[in-house]
Amino acid sequence: MKTLVIIGAGKGLGLSLAKRFGKAGFQIALVSRNTIKLQEMINVLKENHIEASYFIADVYQADQMTEALANIKNKYGSIDVLEFSPTAGKYPPTSVLELTAENIKDLYEGYIFSAIHVVNTVVQDMLARKEGALLFTTGLSALYPVPMMGNVGIIMAGLRNYITNLHTELSPKGIFVGHRSLGLFIKESGNGTVNDPDIIADMWYQAYTDQAVWEEEYPKGVTPATIQY
């Protein structure tokens, strides 16, 4: 069985991704800070006959993340697909005119430092096997400057630059690097719209399966003026 690791797993998109990949025969490793929510997610996955475990780690704590990923490898063997979509940061979206060093640094550590650390921890094994996938879910400010998302946009654009470079370096070596920039507000699962995390999870699984389009906005063609609420 292949293993999907979800960094920043939550009961919205994270759970939907776990169910979708689990349905396809993946075993699932959930990584985040909240034990209660993680156990609730495991219960749902077990009810769906999906092999799954959780591992406690904070994206701000590199040693915790290293330990969690090592424990996942010890339990399940190889890490075949890693999806990165934590909700990090102590500060809300901040206007470009209200930026401070503190609210930039906080998000930088939560997203970019942690992404680099996580990738560095798993990519050598993928390179040795000449296969694997790194999937990154971001917001639309990764692609478009939005003044009211000043701090988030700087970080997401920087993360996208890193993801783009990963794609350039790793795609010729058999590793799929995928990026989907969501221009929507995720709602409850089962509503059947583009905002449905189950629908987004289907999109991600298809993108992983096809490995034809490495980067795209979702829904296709969305802009800051047409964000799906």
CA angle 17, 20, 26 (to 5 degrees): 95
Rounded Cα distance, 173 and 40, in Å? 38
Q: What is the pLDDT along the chain (229 residues), one digit of tens a residue?
A: 999 999 999 999 999 999 999 999 999 999 999 999 999 999 999 999 999 999 999 999 999 999 999 999 999 999 999 999 999 988 999 999 999 999 999 999 999 999 999 999 999 999 999 999 999 999 999 999 999 999 999 999 999 999 999 999 999 999 999 999 999 999 999 999 999 999 999 999 999 999 999 999 999 999 999 999 9
Residue 81: beta bridge partners? 4, 133
How far is residue 87 CA from its own chain's centroid?
A: 9
pTM value?
A: 0.97
| Cis amide leading into 147 (omega within 30) | no
Residue 44: beta bridge partners? none
